[in-house]
Structure 1
């Protein structure tokens, strides 16, 4: 099969497109998916660069990527509720930058859910629902979301607003209108951000969700008045500050969460930023686009 792989840590120049990778085998509780779209995430860049090598010890050559959408080609002996030919989306266990991927946690793609949305949802839906759940929000509380315009942040904004939570969300000037349309009170990030938040919430906020990882935790702790209701999805400085750092793991992946969030997207109750598409051969360019940031939607590889 065609796949992107790398056999040493480094920059995007280590990524190689080959057409002779073996199709991955599947465990009894897995399915084999013919990948239609694979998402490119910041974690993929960390894995490629070697910054995760102290905690993850891969076998080279390695196919990167976890998030994907496609069609089931083969079923493991213990799999139920899914059939060959079903359109699914979820997490690859063998690397998603490939024509075929093994997967353990997938959900059936609703017919009305666009393929682009399906490939964009798994990581963001997991992160947004997990982060909000850790904050134990109740109606009429005020939540500050750092990085409210990204895919994770914008989903968190919409889910919190649906729960009758007042949301203040940081963003760049170009995303102010988009966040306001989602029901948030936007504030510009950068120097003076906490002064701008206090102008909107003079009594402080009840909780903070950091989806940006931009060094905002000390100010967030001061704003809330402690660490108990500050959660970051992106800043490992949390450990030294006593803040909950929720990066997610395989045990957090849930097909039920995907079903729930996908249904809201199909119903028009949640919207996703428009994604950018790259050919599989342009995976290095796609990773560079993720590294550059500055755009709201996911970066996807078209298989």
Structure 2
């Protein structure tokens, strides 16, 4: 399979309507979940087009870690807090939690999603079990900073008073998909369905992602081609999910050859395209020529990401 790419593409990343750098911020205890649950959740979020901050991917070597984490929290729309067995034993995690709850206090639009991974939510909320043990150690270690310990306790209670999601007896893969769906609903992006563990999709889509991020202001077109059944549409969906949020308008039209063969098929496709890029405000289209004119007028005033799939 190969991709024929025209290097000329307009850039919508500078649009002032997108003030947040990330959709979600992941707070987690690395020793508990970094290479397992958190990694799988991160991949599933990214594949769904939900751009996510995770410290080991986003912080450059030599950077001030605390400052970068604080900045990332302030630049995210949602904070996902993964409460695991040893979350409270980490001062880094608790400081991060305080910053997240402060952000929520000063910004009603910031969403906090507690996720309980192999821990009883009541143990976290009431600081029992491993959480009680962790705070006992903190009280011993930070005798001169008891205000700090109390701040951690309050942040933990405030976070767990919010509606969250618990693994319980579910399979992790299903739990992850439930989290992704919930976050997607909260953000309301137009995410396309892509199998969460599709092998090699990220690698194939990376070239398209880099092309879309090249900073050019011109219009461009890319073609993914190859024999049937090798995953062209899946790659296109993954690229769409990863990039549509950077544009003012976007549309994914699937199976356009088959759709066009139906009665009034082209007109229906035109209506769908206009409805997508004008966020449901498209006017009535009676014929193909009228649709062409309206589409030209629509795309000349906005920066749009259009993806067409043919079977």
TM-score, scaled to structure 2: 0.26
Structure with the bigger RCO (C-alpha within 8 Å, sep 6+) is 2
Larger Rg: 2
TM-score, scaled to structure 1: 0.26
